[in-house]
Amino acid sequence: MVKSMGKYKIPFDEHGDQLHYTYDEAPPFNLPDDDPASKGEEHRNIPGHPISWKKNFKFHDTLQLDGMDHGQSAKFLLLSSTTTGSHFTMFVRDAIDVIRNAEIDHGKITATWMFIKRGQNYGVTVMENSSPV
């Protein structure tokens, strides 16, 4: 679990969903849809679509596990808010801490969350001292 909140901005798409990865402009290369490396594209911004950069913030919510995916360099879990429907990603590395320390009820985790950046990727994690319900 993370002790303090990083001082960086987090990318969101026009629907308010957290992006796992962003392109500065256009993707560095185009991959065919059936290429395994193209997985996770829906969690990246599409060139020409707006990105909203928000200051890192904490929020209390119940997130539901929807699945798992991977991009070019990181595997991640797919989560959605049971209250707002917003979508988030979580690094597998952070998921291990959550599995060990949080109360999980049928794939749902109620906690205080914040965002984390690893390399060029973004995701959510549970804050330390967060009390699961």
Separation between Cα atoms, residue 61 and residue 94, nearest integer Å = 17
Torsional sign, CA 100, 106, 112, 113? positive
Entry pTM: 0.79
* The pLDDT of residue 74: 75
Q: pLDDT (tens digit, 9 = 90+) per residue, 42-76?
A: 555 666 677 889 999 999 999 999 999 988 777 89
Specify burial of residue 93 (Cβ count, 10 A radius: 0-12, 13-18, 19+).
middle
Separation between Cα atoms, residue 17 and residue 57, nearest integer Å = 14
Residues 6+ apart with CB under 8 A from 127: 1, 2, 5, 58, 111, 112, 113, 114
pLDDT-wise least confident of 21-30, 62-71, 74-83:
21-30
* The pLDDT of residue 129: 53
